[in-house]
Amino acid sequence: MKYFLVSLTVACTLFSAYLLNLGAKSSASLGLASALVVLCVIAVNFSKFYIWGLIYRRYEISESYPIVAVFFPAIYLLALLNGEAELEMQKLFAIVLIIFGVLLLGRAKRATE
């Protein structure tokens, strides 16, 4: 359940970033569409903070928060899919390090239990 909840917060963060990017690219300046984007971003982030509240009550922060590092590879993937980033070996290596670190932290925590 912990991994699902943390993954949900990462998804909320990605969706919020996508909405902000979409709003920044739109040609409407401070119109109804912009107001809707801002309201959606606020609602998504409110949901994210509510979910984090649930996580903090049920699990130790040292167990949950490192999983959020998966956000960085995910945002890079989102940028690749939108054509806003180029595929580079340095960034791929950094992504592998991040994922390896998250897996290592999760495994170390399970080994001490």
> Taking a C-beta distance cutoff of 8 angstroms, is the pair 78, 18 a contact?
yes
The region that residue 83 occupies, defined by phi over 0 for left and psi between -120 and 50 for alpha, beta otherwise, is left
In which band, very low, low, confident or very high, does the pLDDT at 14 lie, cut at 50, 70 and 90?
A: confident
Of the candidates 28, 98, 31, 34, which has an alpha carbon nearest to the alpha carbon of residue 67? Answer: 98
Read off the tokens for 104: 């290592």
**Domain with 43 in it:** 2-112
E strand or H helix at 78, and its extent? Answer: helix 71-81
Structural domains counted in the chain: 1
> Which of helix, strand or coil describes residue 86?
coil
Kindly tell me if the per-residue pLDDT of 18 is higher than 90. no
Task: Count the Cβ atoms, other than its own, within 10 Å of residue 73.
Answer: 18
Structure pTM?
0.69
The pLDDT of 63-88, averaged and rounded, is 82
> Taking a C-beta distance cutoff of 8 angstroms, is the pair 15, 41 a contact?
no
Q: Which residue has the higher pLDDT, 53 or 68?
A: 53
Kindly tell me if the per-residue pLDDT of 32 is higher than 90. no
